[in-house]
A and B are shown apart, each in its own frame.
Chain A
Amino acid sequence: MKYYDKLIFECSKEGRRGYSLPENAFPAAGELPVALRRQAPLNLPEVSEPDVVRHYTNLSQMNFGVDTGFYPLGSCTMKYNPKINEEMAALPGFAGLHPLMPARLTEGACKVYEEMDKALAAITGMYKFTFAPCAGAHGELTGLMLMRQYHVNRGDLKRTKVIVPDSAHGTNPASAAVCGLEVVEVKSLENGRIDVEALKPLLTDEIAGIMMTNPNTLGLFETEIKSIAALVHAAGGLLYYDGANMNPLMGVVRPGDMGFDIMHLNLHKTFSTPHGGGGPGSGPVGVAQKLVDCLPGIRVSAFHGNFGVILRAYAYILSLGREHLRKVGEYAVLSANYIKESLKDVYKLPIEGVCKHEFVFDGLINDGAHDDVPGATTLDVAKRLLDYGFHAPTIYFPLLFHQALMIEPTETESKETIDAFIAVMRKIAEEAARDPNILHEAPHNTPISRPDETTAARNPILKYQEN
């Protein structure tokens, strides 16, 4: 990767053109009334096609993607994105469909939705899916709307609170707030699981339900899920499953069977669609049969959700089929446990035992702190990994540990890649013990060094300004 400093505006030269449009064959329609016309200058760059291609190619070369290297980003499930899926989603017979075309004109698209509904229901044990949500958090919000609607439909109007574990993804409480629900936090036990005894007194008749992810954000299976489900249901609440951590359960365990009533899936995680530098995603929401009546009347996006993403996920499911689904879950779990066991003598493992698709270290065992030299932090380890050609794990999440380093390898990495990652993590631990300054100053080999984030937030420059 090399540093490239231009912005597209700095490539601009008056009169350059990068477009080609047909000749105007129509009589001139006349102008808009002056009062309705744009008066402000239109400051768009003027660049040729080769300028554009070079500029964005240069930008791309400052980026790291799954196709570049290993991306062990916990809770993000950065698995390989099969290329056939891209081609299928771009077929003109799909890309050219207008969203308001009636079903009689879009039978192929409708069939994709039907088949996806069936497949996701089979994989998760839910009854029916809506594909409108455009991302995971959007799915959470939709799911919580369905939760509230369920209670409202039964005339149970006082259920305005939702229980969220302290280890939950940040989107869980945020989605609850957008949905108008009050968040009640339930603590985790020393072993990282929900404290069932602490949960019991929270289960009043004001509780709409509980949001969980299982395995939780520590990568640990919630072993008490059966009694949690029974308690919540007995109290009149519903169970929501955050599908961000569905990958280890693929082909092995179904959320519906564990008692979950509503869930979302992240097609851009579990179902291999590319993350695109932060989206587009797709967050279909599945519900148990008793919630099907709540689906109509909740419209959360423009049309049919992110169809292009759904097509990719469908191609992925077809490539797995019933034969290979289980390998996804098993191999993801195998890889995670292998890394954990291979590194736990140099990184602090706060909770022993088998994990699922991911696990959390609480920083280095020997961070090299001595005299006036502060020890290497999790941020330092993350930045040093970049020097060795790996993406960093998720850091400082979950909030239960101060030096959290959350590693998720996924099932699509070879043993050789995983071993190389382990070797580098060990080397970084050695470097820290020897001289933590190497880590404090990392990264050394990336296009830029560490940025001044404080100034960025204090004096925000959020758009291009000509000098």
Chain B
Amino acid sequence: MLDKIGVKKLEDLYSDVPAEFLHKGAYALPPAMSEQEIRDCFASLEAMNAHLKVFVGAGAYDHYTPAVIPYLCSRSEFLTAYTPYQCEISQGTLRYIFEYQSLICSLTGLDVSNASLYDGPTAAAEAMKMAVACTRKKPRVLLSKGLLPHVIEVVETYARFHGVEIGYVPVMNGQTCPNCLKAELAKDDVAGVIVPSINRYGIVEDHTGFADAVHAEKGLLVEYCDPSALAVVKTPGEWDADIAVGDGQPLGLPLSYGGPYVGFMAVKKEHMRKMPGRIVGQTVDKDGRRVFVLTLQAREQHIKREKATSNICSNESLMALWVTIYLSLMGPEGLKEVNRLSCDGAHYLYAELLKTGCFEEVFPGKPFLKEFVLKPKQAGMQERLEKAGFFAALPTEEGYVSFCVTEKRTKAEIDALVKAVKEG
């Protein structure tokens, strides 16, 4: 090979690099490991992590992953493929993305979905940018204080650099305050408003009148949702929202310390051409067969460069496949059943925790599904439960603690947690 190239040794291939930049000496790295040693190394790292029953949500939910999903997603034809630019040998990827888009539209009740974004918070940040781009108004976007704290932080970071002013709508009585929203809308131009379908306290919000108020000011309404819960709660489409975003993680993705997850976004048809990210469309090939291609690419960075709707290139395709298989397996009944089990379990835990006398209600009578907050009467609840084998009672900035129950949590586990609370 060297002869063909016309050089004598491998180092000659770097003859164009100024000598001072060629690294001298050894790299400060560990010595190479065999496969067996890597296995041992990871086993010892794994053992350093706690193995607790998870009773916390707050943006990452411990739902069950059917065995079929990792089995199919590890097929190398899916796993080791690149972005489906060569559609003739990528119909597998293109078809599942088309299915994914269809499923996201069905869940959200909106018209058009993209092929995925990084995660929920960045999807919200993209929605913030999109609201500004669609309305061509003063770049001011309102965030409900009921959004999860990390969603707010990411949107704030993007806004600060993108030149978007952020305003806030406070939470009153456990829900984004409608009158405060109207007051903020009246104050100044608003390009968009982002509100949580289920807020940081686990409460299912009532957004009656929100869309009308926002649309009257020619802004866009963005709903941040838990896609699993959309099987049972009113959809962004039904609230007449313009954009739905959120994290697909509750649809069977492992917690995996925060990633990879998958951001989703669906919009009303009129905003389609302002959407960020890839989109797959249906067409026919030369022989008239139904085929799928990446389409509407004139929005994207590889064509439009600095005028693109977003800089996103790699997304979370494999996790979109994961979600697609999950929704296919669960179907309408399975997804409702997941919500039923989680909701019944959460309400059981809520009632049992109150009976212990160690907590006070914060939002009595407010509707919730799998997640809720209580006010602990004593400090140190999280640590106490940790010792009993539970990750639970996550402290919030208001001094509450938050709990979450999914279908994975059994009655025996809940009873054991309650016992640990009682025994202090």
Cβ contact of A337, chosen from B5, B162, B337, cutoff 8 A = B5
Interface pair A71/B343, CB less than 8 Å apart: no
List chain A residues, Cβ under 8 A from B238: 38-40
Chain A's closest residue to B337 (CB) is A21
Chain A's closest residue to B65 (CB) is A95
Minimum CB–CB distance from A141 to chain B (whole Å) comes to: 6
Interface pair B16/A223, CB less than 8 Å apart: yes
List chain B residues, Cβ under 8 A from A404: none
Cβ contact of B314, chosen from A44, A136, A323, cutoff 8 A = A136
Q: In this complex, which of B6, B54, B59, B281 has the most chain A Cβ atoms within 10 angstroms of its Cβ?
A: B281
Q: Given the known inter-chain contacts A65-B77, A251-B23, please indicate yes or no for A44 contacting B335, CB distance below 8 A.
A: yes
Q: Is A201 an interface residue (CB 8 A)?
A: no
CA distance A333 to B43 in the complex (A): 35
Interface pair B258/A307, CB less than 8 Å apart: yes
Q: Is A61 an interface residue (CB 8 A)?
A: yes
Interface pair A63/B90, CB less than 8 Å apart: yes
Cβ contact of A57, chosen from B72, B113, B234, B298, cutoff 8 A = B72
Q: How many of chain A's residues have a CB under 8 angstroms from any CB in B?
A: 184
In residues 58-78 of chain A, which contact B (Cβ within 8 Å)? 59-68, 71, 73, 76, 78
Q: How many of chain B's residues have a CB under 8 angstroms from any CB in A?
A: 194
Q: In this complex, which of A90, A297, A462 has the most chain B Cβ atoms within 10 angstroms of its Cβ?
A: A462
Q: Is B4 an interface residue (CB 8 A)?
A: yes
Q: Is A112 an interface residue (CB 8 A)?
A: yes
| Segment at the interface with A among B7-15, B180-188, B215-223 | B7-15
Interface pair B122/A134, CB less than 8 Å apart: yes
Chain B's closest residue to A12 (CB) is B331
In residues 39-65 of chain A, which contact B (Cβ within 8 Å)? 39-47, 49, 52-53, 55-57, 59-65
List chain A residues, Cβ under 8 A from B314: 134-137, 266, 268, 275, 278-281
Minimum CB–CB distance from B14 to chain A (whole Å) comes to: 6
List chain A residues, Cβ under 8 A from B204: 32, 36
Q: Tally inter-chain residue pairs, CB-CB below 8 A.
A: 631
CA distance A258 to B134 in the complex (A): 42
Q: Given the known inter-chain contacts A67-B80, A112-B45, A302-B121, please indicate yes or no for A307 contacting B153, CB distance below 8 A.
A: no
Q: Is B135 an interface residue (CB 8 A)?
A: no
CA distance A30 to B343 in the complex (A): 9
Q: Is A450 an interface residue (CB 8 A)?
A: yes
Q: Is B278 an interface residue (CB 8 A)?
A: yes
Q: Given the known inter-chain contacts A60-B92, A177-B307, please indicate yes or no for A94 contacting B257, CB distance below 8 A.
A: yes
| Segment at the interface with B among A167-175, A232-240, A364-372 | A167-175
Minimum CB–CB distance from A69 to chain B (whole Å) comes to: 10
Q: Is B354 an interface residue (CB 8 A)?
A: no
Q: Is B324 an interface residue (CB 8 A)?
A: yes
| Segment at the interface with A among B29-37, B356-364, B373-381, B416-424 | B29-37
List chain B residues, Cβ under 8 A from A136: 313-314
Interface pair A460/B281, CB less than 8 Å apart: yes
List chain A residues, Cβ under 8 A from B129: 178
Cβ contact of B54, chosen from A71, A98, A453, cutoff 8 A = A98
Q: Is B388 an interface residue (CB 8 A)?
A: no
Interface pair B27/A37, CB less than 8 Å apart: no
Q: Is A230 an interface residue (CB 8 A)?
A: no
Chain B's closest residue to A182 (CB) is B306
Q: Is A306 an interface residue (CB 8 A)?
A: yes
Q: Is A320 an interface residue (CB 8 A)?
A: yes
In residues 1-22 of chain A, which contact B (Cβ within 8 Å)? 1, 3, 5, 7-9, 16-22
List chain A residues, Cβ under 8 A from B81: 63-66, 275-277
Interface pair A98/B16, CB less than 8 Å apart: no
List chain A residues, Cβ under 8 A from B260: 134, 279-280, 306-309
Q: Is A426 an interface residue (CB 8 A)?
A: no
CA distance A123 to B27 in the complex (A): 7
Minimum CB–CB distance from A422 to chain B (whole Å) comes to: 10
Q: A21-B341, A52-B328, A278-B83 are in contact. List 5 more A-B contacts (CB 8 A).
A: A22-B341, A33-B367, A47-B331, A57-B72, A145-B157
Shortest 4 CB-CB contacts between residues of A and residues of B: A321-B32, A303-B258, A276-B318, A99-B258
Identify 27 residue pairs between A and B in the complex whose beta-carbon atoms are under 8 Å apart, listed by A's number. A18-B329, A19-B330, A21-B338, A29-B344, A37-B234, A52-B329, A62-B91, A93-B49, A98-B255, A101-B50, A105-B391, A108-B48, A136-B314, A180-B162, A268-B314, A276-B78, A277-B92, A278-B83, A278-B93, A300-B154, A302-B121, A303-B59, A303-B259, A318-B37, A319-B38, A324-B32, A452-B284
